[in-house]
Structures are given as structure tokens and as C-alpha cells.
Amino acid sequence: MIRVRQVRVNLKDDNLKTKVALKLKISENDILKLKVVKKSLDARKKYDIHYVYEVDVLLPFEKKILKRKNPDIFLTPDEKYQFISTGEKQFKYRPVIIGSGPAGLFCAYLLAENGYRPMVIERGEMVEQRILTVQKFWENGILNEESNVQFGEGGAGTFSDGKLNTLVKDRNHRMRKVFETFVKAGAPEEIMQENMPHIGTDLLCKVVQNLRNQIIQMGGEFRYNTCLNDINIVDGKLTSIIVNKEKIACNVLVLAIGHSARDTFEMLYKRGLLMESKSFAVGVRIQHPQKMIDKAQYGGNFCLPPASYKLTHKASNGRGVYSFCMCPGGYVVNASSEKGKLAINGMSNHRRNSTNANSAIVVTVSPSDFGHSPLSGLTYQRSLEEKAYQIGKGKIPIQLYGDFKNHILSNSFGQIEPIFKGNYNFADLNEIFPDYIIQALTEGIESFNTKIEGFGASDVILAGVESRTSSPIRIVRDETFMSNIFGIYPCGEGAGYAGGITTSAIDGIKIAEAIASRYKKL
């Protein structure tokens, strides 16, 4: 087959086969088979919105077409992922993975698929029970610190938009492996084609359940409501771990703990695991009517999928301000994981059919703001979350943007109806942040208002605090993906090596490959 790129199809002309034939300068009848590889929407010009396709085509005279030397037409490459196992060392004990977010699940999947029989330790509940626990928390505000929006099977990404887009170059086809595995577990097949694919919280829960069952069928094991309490080290090497006060012999440990496992970070730091402080971002989550975003991005074309946006600004104080985790047709959710502290996130179902769009508007912070000690970023996050909890009286603190600018407590909503998962209270969000954050947020929203009309309207709804954009810590690892303690493999977003579902899953695959390069399968 040959691959054809940059095939433009207008919204009113959905005959893709005709457009491919025109690009190849052949008859439609010559096309024996056509498969869509990628599909993206180009809405940069409101008067010329169109889809751009990349397709694989089977023709009876492919060599003749390839002789034309068109950069958009070439032989279909081999994109099959290959897992290579070259390890010669024998395991003493089966490998253990801490955490069942995307990094942990995909590390476990690849190991199980290739005969390594991993054990997955998860402090929270399996996803079916976790859904019920989170729903109850949103209704009554009673937090389970071990199983919530941050902790539990599927990780923090389960209660999100399920976005899979990433800028990572997929030279080794790991991302393709991730998408194929998701589809095998029940995700929509369209994620293989879309330029900005997403699954949605409602579908992700079932996908995670299916991934677990597949891992078990291939020889893996899961233990839930089981927290990593301690690790034992002899002569710089891992010898065992303590979970729920039970000692488990272990010499290969994957730390896919997620960015919210603060107690685990503290324990690992005390045990001598090398860590370093890193930059992240904090801010608020903003809500607009989805129709407003659609109009700004599409003009009058409302037959298209709910529109998204990506915005950046450099404030006068030098801070970067940007939109993060934009959720078309979504919800703002209480994503707390510690009592007395409050954090929020955004979430969408697969259809993205709520009436509001939301995204985080965040400001970069660095060790110069909170200290260079490896755990100082955690302290900074906790201080903001504690203030958010206090001013919201245990509920999500919210404020209209016009009142935020004027430091006035809101007392009613404007034209925009609030959409939250979790209870909320009016509060002055200025009380959460230092002045440099407030200044940058205000300048950023005012700048974004010049790009999307109504973005900075006075009745736009803000909520706080968005503090879990990424891990404030990086656990140091070497070229073999191992930490300074032999046998420990830091992995995923919590360890500081990923940002989002796809990159976390890819990092999990990398760790599985690293283990297979050293050890034989069980």
C-alpha cells in the first residue's frame, strides 16, 4: 500500500475517495482499498474549514505512482511495535509495580504480555468501586484519602477528559501500541485516526477494567487497597517492600505512583532515593458556554465537534500563563486527595455534551518560588490547597471573573450556569494566591479575551485551586531507567517523566523494555 498525506475534504464534500483519486490523478475505480490513518480538522480560516486526511491506499500500479516523487505520497511504512527481550539475568522474585495509572497499567500489560507475570500494587480501589466512592464524595463531601479522583485503579486520568494527544515523536511506535491496546480494551476505534483523540471518563472506566482483566489473563496479579509503606535496602540494592505492614521480597520495583502520592514521596526521600525539585504550574479553572467557544473557533459551523482552544501569554512579570487540560463540554470536579485541602480538575465524557467548556488557566512556578529542597514543591501545593479548602469552607471556592479582578466576593451568577461535580461556595480566590500569580492570571485572561471574544467577560466562572498540573518532583534515574537504588525504576508522571495519559503509558512501556533488557521472563 502507499500512504497519501494532506488530502483536504470540505465540510460539504465528504467523498474522501474522490479527493484521494484527484490527488493521485487516477480513477476512483483504481482504488482497491482505502484506510484512514489520520484525520484532523483545520479551522484556522472560518470561511474555509475542512478536514485533512492521511490515508493508506491499495492500487494495482503503486510503483508507477511512487516514481512521481511527491513528498505527500510514499510507501506505507511498517509501524508495528516490537517488544525486544534480551535479558539474561534470572528474577529472584516477580516484578512489582506500584500504582495502576496509565504508566503502571501499560508497564504491567507489556510485562504480562511477554511472560514476566507482574504484581500490581494499588492503594485505592478497583475502578468499579472507585467510581461509587468518588460519586459519594461529590455528593456528601466525605473524602476517602486512599481512593478518590487522584488515587485508585486507572489513576488521575480516569476522571479527566481522557485526552490522548501528545507532541511525542513515535519513532518506536510505542504510542501506536498504546492506542491499539486501548482499542482492544474497548476504546473507540476512532482514536487511531484522530489528530486530537480522547476517550472520556465514562468510557475510560470500562477500558481500565478490561485492561486489568487482560493483564490477569496473561499472568499478572492485582492487589487493591494496598499501600506501599516502606522499602528495605541492603548495600544500595532493593531487597523487599512493606505494603499494609506486610513484607514482600522484591528486587525489581516500578514506581508508577502518580503526582499526588505525597506520603510515598516523603518515605522514599527518607530512604535515600535521589530526587530533585522541578517547575510546575498553578492557577484556576475557568468555565464558558460551549456555544461561545464553538462560535469563536468555527464561526457559524455548529455541526462540528465541540471546539477546544490552546492559549498562551507571557505576563509583564515574566510568568508564563497558559490554558491546560481544556475540556470541551465538560465538568469542573473536586479532585482532592488530602483532608483539609482542596484541589480541582476538569473532566469530560466521551460525547463532551455538557453545556459548558472549561480549562485550567495556570501560571508557571519554579524552585525559586518555593525552594530547591526536593519536597518543597509539595509544601507549596499543600499551602494553596489548604487556603482553597478554608475559603470555600470545605467546598470548591468559586468567583465570577469580574469580581476576581476587583477583589469582591460574588453573591450570584450571571448568564453562565455553573457545572460542577462536587459542592461549591462563593469565595474570594485572591486569598489563595500570592500577588505574582494573581497579576499573571489577570493579564493572561485579559490577553485571551482578545483572541476569543467573551473569554474575560465579567460573569465567567472561576474555581480554585488547580494545583496538580504535573509532578513538583523528579525522581532521578540513569540511562538504564533505574534510580540510585538498584532495582527501583521511577516511572510516569509522578516520577517526573511524563505529562498526561499517553506519555505516561509510553513511559510505562519504556520501563517494561528496560526490565526485559536485563531479566529473562518468568
Contacts 24+ apart (CB under 8 A), 494-500: 494/99, 494/101, 494/103, 494/255, 494/256, 494/257, 494/258, 494/259, 494/260, 494/261, 495/255, 495/256, 495/257, 495/471, 496/278, 496/470, 496/471, 498/103, 499/470, 500/157, 500/163, 500/164, 500/166
Does 168 share its domain with 139? Answer: yes
Does 321 share its domain with 222? Answer: no
Does 208 share its domain with 138? Answer: yes
Q: Tell me whether residue 427 is in a domain.
A: yes
Give the rounded percent of residues in the chain with a pLDDT score beyond 70: 100
- CATH code of residue 483: 3.50.50.60
Q: At residue 14, does pLDDT exceed 80?
A: no
State the pairing for strand pair 275-277/73-75: unpaired
- Say how far apart CA 410 and CA 464 lie, in whole Å: 14
Cell of 193: 485516526
Per-residue pLDDT reduced to its tens digit, 178-208: 999 999 999 999 999 998 999 999 999 999 9
Q: What is the pLDDT of residue 453?
A: 96
Three-class SS state of 62 = helix
* CB burial readout 460-475, b (16+ within 10 A) else e: bbbbbbbbbbbbbbbb
Does 269 share its domain with 363? Answer: no
- Say how far apart CA 265 and CA 231 lie, in whole Å: 12
Does 137 share its domain with 24? Answer: no
Does 192 share its domain with 43? Answer: no
- CATH code of residue 17: 3.30.70.2700
Q: Which range, of 87-96, 240-249, 293-302, 445-454, averages the lowest pLDDT?
A: 293-302
Q: Tell me whether residue 332 is in a domain.
A: yes
Q: Which of 42, 75, 108 is the last residue of a domain?
A: 75
User: Is the whole-model pTM more than 0.75?
Assistant: yes
Per-residue pLDDT reduced to its tens digit, 243-280: 998 999 999 999 999 999 999 999 999 999 999 999 99
- Say how far apart CA 92 and CA 219 lie, in whole Å: 17
Does 126 share its domain with 234? Answer: yes
Q: Tell me whether residue 87 is in a domain.
A: no
Does 456 share its domain with 414? Answer: yes
Q: Which of 46, 75, 104 is the last residue of a domain?
A: 75
Q: What is the pLDDT of residue 54?
A: 97
Does 166 share its domain with 105? Answer: yes
Give the model's confidence band at 444: pLDDT under 50 very low, under 70 low, under 90 confident, else very high. Answer: very high
Q: Tell me whether residue 29 is in a domain.
A: yes
CB 358 within 8 A of CB 173: no
Does 166 share its domain with 236? Answer: yes
Helices (H), 2-73: 16-24, 62-66
Per-residue pLDDT reduced to its tens digit, 27-71: 999 999 999 999 999 999 988 899 999 999 999 999 999 998 899
Specify the DSSP element, H or E, that contains 358: strand 356-365
Give the model's confidence band at 451: pLDDT under 50 very low, under 70 low, under 90 confident, else very high. Answer: very high
Q: Tell me whether residue 80 is in a domain.
A: no
Per-residue pLDDT reduced to its tens digit, 129-155: 999 999 999 999 999 999 999 999 999
Q: Which single residue is written with the C-alpha cell 453545556?
A: 355
Does 500 share its domain with 418? Answer: no
Q: Tell me whether residue 86 is in a domain.
A: no
Specify the DSSP element, H or E, that contains 210: helix 201-217
Domain count, the chain: 3
Q: What is the pLDDT of residue 253?
A: 98
Does 332 share its domain with 188? Answer: no
* Terminal-to-terminal C-alpha distance of the chain: 39
Q: Tell me whether residue 84 is in a domain.
A: no
Residue 274's Cβ-count burial label (10 Å; 0-12, 13-18, 19+) is middle
Q: What is the domain range of residue 17? A: 2-75
Q: What is the pLDDT of residue 167?
A: 77
Mean pLDDT of the chain: 96
